[in-house]
Structure 1
Amino acid sequence: METLVNVNESIESTKKITVNLIDCDVHPFMSSLDELAPYLDEAYQKQLNIGKFKNDRLKNQNNGGFTFPLGRYGNPGHVLRTDAIPPSGETPGSDPQFLTKDLFDRYDTTYGILNIGHGTMGAYHNVNLAAEYTRASNDWLYDKWVKSDHRFKMTMEVIPLDPQLSVKEIERIGRKPGIAGINLRVVNIPFGKRHFWPIYEIAEEYGLPIIVHPDAENTAEYSPNQAIGPASTYIEWHSTLPIIAMRQIPSLIFEGVFEKFPKLKFAFIEYGFAWIAHLMWRLDKNWKGLRQEVPWLKIPPSEYIRRNIRLGTQPIEEPFKPNHLLELIQMIKAEEMLLFCSDYPHWDGDNLQRVFLRFPEELKRKIFYENALDTFRF
């Protein structure tokens, strides 16, 4: 049995924060895919090998039957925390009541944005099956979690390989109270391409930001490589995740997405943020010399980034001198870009009482609350 890691302090030793808090990355998990059975027709239950079809003899043979797209890389310990296991002994993050006590009550959380943590089929080759799985996952998340506590808000999943189906899914549930954003998984099509523009159009109309979160990067047939090819180990893959965001942001800017959809916001969650300084400086420098290629841009790339891009704080970078992180934020005027993320219940979550100690109160208020309030639809 794998050993889970314990990275958190006890509830008793954790002080409560002094400002309102919106946690922009909380992961709900299923105990098993069987939780989706009530939301799927029998034909799709059978394809997914769940519900009453779980013990289908043919599905348990290596005969080309369905296999859920799992990640290529395994954490040598475990990606989930031992202190987040609910009293039932189920998967960490699978019990709404325990999560609210263990996380929300501990930090006086105002809202928690739920980003599905059990894996998606965003890069899966069978788009029809992926669409049904996505629809069922959205309904499961809404019924089990959002309805259980007013502090739960959710990002809805869409189907990146089929924008038309994505639009239909947004039209189906995108205006429901409690849905705060759209979770668009990364596939091997850059986000600036017109392929995605129907999704952006309705997202802007509905006032929903696009959330980008690691998941599909290392699963299934339409996953993108991390710039030069697949990593060999979990540590290599995990450490180079920011490359994905660094590739997507120039695509969004130079393809003119933020000129076409000026009110649309993109939040890159769980990629860190210190790399954004290099990217802003490099894009501005190149734009000065090559702007004839992109005459539709009206302002420097860094200004689009400040206006339309948001970044989750986790996993926060740790420079040799802690003050340097604050200086970096101030240098690039990123105070309005950062969103607090706990990444609960993952192993590399950040303790907000420790990592923000040197930040001034005004900046903490923006990171903990105001920036999220301005980004998500509440």
Structure 2
Amino acid sequence: MRGVMKMVHAINEKSIKGAAKTKQLVIDSDVHSYLNSLNDLVPYCDESLQKRLNIGKFKKQAFEGKLISAAEFRFPECRYINPVSVVRGDAFSPEGAIPGSDPAFVAKDLFDRSNTQYGILNSCNATMGAFHNIDIANGFNTAFNDWQYENWIEKDSRYKMSMLVSPLDPAAAVKEIERVGKKPGVVAVNLQTTTTPFGNRNLYPIYEAAEHYGLQMLIHPDSEASGENGPAQAVGPASTYMEWHTCLGFNAQRNIVSLVCEGVFEKFPKLKFVFVEYGVAGIVPLLWRIDKNWKTLREEVPWLKELPSEYIKRNVRLGTQPIEEPYRPKDLLEIIQMAGIEDMLLYCSDYPHWDGDEADRVFNTFPKELKNKIFYENALNTYHFTR
């Protein structure tokens, strides 16, 4: 079977390379999918979960002038509200579906227009990684994974999926990976939080299961400063969305250091962590600083057999959106080349969000070879699309 898959992959690569001569091929590592409402999950929930989520026949109804229902369910709420709207106004479907909720329209509006071969779905409905009721969180994740697979992955082979699990219940997370992770089209696991140090050993069963099924870890801003999580900023909570959004990269840097210093990549060498929407340029001083400290303090981390920066370059990937925009565009190219992180960068559109990067408008000052790495080759070498 592996030989057949390699042959199919080689045939696909040959045809893809031919097509690449005319237009840049794209693998998009951050496409957001939305529920129109929680009622979309009704077919995937038992009655107990429907009641706890207040959906289906348990949804609040009028009865003799009074409202009757189970207690209203709400997602953990973030402290910060985008003042200009999180979604783009031009991404509503012709039928009025909210941006990111209509698979057919997303395929037409994004994939067809951008020559996208694969787009990795990343839920934007769930902040359940920090939800205080683990049973509800696990039930929601299971229902959402089934809904997304049936309504997106099975409808268009270009859609690939990052599945949801809760880091607060590693045993349940492993069972969900065993249930869903072997399905074609599932390529990553989304922990839905970054305010738990990812080097913590209680998370190792999740990493072991993900590595076993050939899945990568996709990390995206989600539950910071909501639910069970405290403020994401080290010096205290931000006052505005602008502060929160600007400082997101620090969360990723903290977790990258945790992963390296706790030896996660020594224990799980095939596992990659893809940090999406945390920026790119901040990794450069981190590489220099962690290598410098390791040279003096390596006896604290004797399990590290090489420079920390080598683990990072091999096992960490960075989504390019929101890309930093220096006054001189070539400065970004120089810092990427200076640090040697060309193989770490994965193109992300962040569709349908307010600050998304269009494939035909970014990296215009980059060399063609580097653009092809960012848009296509690096993702192809990161995710297992032909498992």
TM category (shorter chain) comes to over 0.9
Residue in structure 1 matching 2:53, options 25, 48, 54? 48
1:67 Cα offset (Å): 2.5
Conserved in 2, the CA contact under 8 Å of 1:158 and 1:184?
yes
> Which consecutive residues of structure 1, in runs of 5 or more, have no partner in the other structure?
1-15
Conserved in 2, the CA contact under 8 Å of 1:17 and 1:107?
no
- Corresponding position: 1:105 with 2:112: yes
- Corresponding position: 1:213 with 2:223: no
In structure 1, how many angstroms separate the alpha carbons of the residues matched to 2:67 and 2:219?
Answer: 34
Q: 1:45 to 1:335 in 2, by over 3 A?
A: same
SS in 2 for 1:370: helix
- Report the count of equivalent residues: 363
Deviates more, 1:57-66 or 1:19-28: 57-66
Conserved in 2, the CA contact under 8 Å of 1:33 and 1:50?
yes
Conserved in 2, the CA contact under 8 Å of 1:211 and 1:269?
yes
In structure 2, how many angstroms separate the alpha carbons of the residues matched to 1:234 and 1:62?
Answer: 34
Q: 1:112 to 1:63 in 2, by over 3 A?
A: closer
Q: 1:63 to 1:169 in 2, by over 3 A?
A: closer
Conserved in 2, the CA contact under 8 Å of 1:17 and 1:108?
no
Conserved in 2, the CA contact under 8 Å of 1:146 and 1:178?
yes
Conserved in 1, the CA contact under 8 Å of 2:231 and 2:237?
no
Q: 1:67 to 1:332 in 2, by over 3 A?
A: same
In structure 2, how many angstroms separate the alpha carbons of the residues matched to 1:247 and 1:129?
Answer: 29
SS in 2 for 1:22: strand
Taking only the aligned residue pairs, the percentage that are identical comes to: 59
1:254 Cα offset (Å): 0.4
Q: Which residue of 2 aligns with 1:171?
A: 178
SS in 1 for 2:318: strand
Opposite residue 288 of structure 1, the aligned amino acid is K
Q: Which residue of 2 aligns with 1:320?
A: 327
In structure 1, how many angstroms separate the alpha carbons of the residues matched to 2:315 and 2:288?
Answer: 17
Deviates more, 1:333-342 or 1:38-47: 38-47
Q: Which residue of 2 aligns with 1:19?
A: 24
In structure 2, how many angstroms separate the alpha carbons of the residues matched to 1:187 and 1:319?
Answer: 26
Conserved in 1, the CA contact under 8 Å of 2:114 and 2:360?
no
Conserved in 1, the CA contact under 8 Å of 2:114 and 2:359?
no
1:352 Cα offset (Å): 2.4
Q: Which residue of 2 aligns with 1:232?
A: 239
Q: Which residue of 2 aligns with 1:252?
A: 259
SS in 1 for 2:188: strand
In structure 2, how many angstroms separate the alpha carbons of the residues matched to 1:154 and 1:237?
Answer: 27
1:322 Cα offset (Å): 0.3
The superposition leaves residues 243-300 of structure 1 with CA deviations (integer Å, 9 ceiling, x where unpaired) of 1101100000000101111111000001111000011011011111111111111111
1:72 Cα offset (Å): 1.6
Residue in structure 1 matching 2:379, options 365, 372, 375? 372
1:60 Cα offset (Å): 7.0
Summarize the alignment of residues 1-378 of structure 1 with structure 2, pairs less than 5 Å apart.
18-56=23-61, 65-186=72-193, 188-223=195-230, 225-378=232-385
In structure 2, how many angstroms separate the alpha carbons of the residues matched to 1:95 and 1:34?
Answer: 15
Q: 1:231 to 1:64 in 2, by over 3 A?
A: farther
Conserved in 2, the CA contact under 8 Å of 1:258 and 1:264?
yes
In structure 2, how many angstroms separate the alpha carbons of the residues matched to 1:130 and 1:224?
Answer: 21
Q: 1:144 to 1:219 in 2, by over 3 A?
A: same
Q: 1:17 to 1:243 in 2, by over 3 A?
A: farther
1:173 Cα offset (Å): 1.0
Deviates more, 1:228-237 or 1:331-340: 228-237
In structure 2, how many angstroms separate the alpha carbons of the residues matched to 1:206 and 1:218?
Answer: 31
> Which consecutive residues of structure 2, in runs of 5 or more, have no partner in the other structure?
1-20
The superposition leaves residues 295-317 of structure 1 with CA deviations (integer Å, 9 ceiling, x where unpaired) of 11111111111010000000000
In structure 2, how many angstroms separate the alpha carbons of the residues matched to 1:84 and 1:143?
Answer: 22
Conserved in 2, the CA contact under 8 Å of 1:186 and 1:223?
no
In structure 2, how many angstroms separate the alpha carbons of the residues matched to 1:154 and 1:248?
Answer: 23
TM-score normalised by length of structure 1: 0.92
In structure 2, how many angstroms separate the alpha carbons of the residues matched to 1:371 and 1:31?
Answer: 33
Q: Which residue of 2 aligns with 1:5?
A: none
Q: 1:188 to 1:276 in 2, by over 3 A?
A: closer
1:172 Cα offset (Å): 0.3
Q: Which residue of 1 aligns with 2:9?
A: none
1:354 Cα offset (Å): 2.1
The superposition leaves residues 117-171 of structure 1 with CA deviations (integer Å, 9 ceiling, x where unpaired) of 1223110010011000000000000011111111111111111101110000000
In structure 2, how many angstroms separate the alpha carbons of the residues matched to 1:238 and 1:305?
Answer: 23
Aligned Cα RMSD in Å?
1.9
In structure 2, how many angstroms separate the alpha carbons of the residues matched to 1:64 and 1:223?
Answer: 25
In structure 1, how many angstroms separate the alpha carbons of the residues matched to 2:69 and 2:36?
Answer: 24
In structure 2, how many angstroms separate the alpha carbons of the residues matched to 1:119 and 1:185?
Answer: 8
Conserved in 2, the CA contact under 8 Å of 1:216 and 1:223?
no
TM-score normalised by length of structure 2: 0.90
In structure 2, how many angstroms separate the alpha carbons of the residues matched to 1:55 and 1:124?
Answer: 22
SS in 2 for 1:228: coil
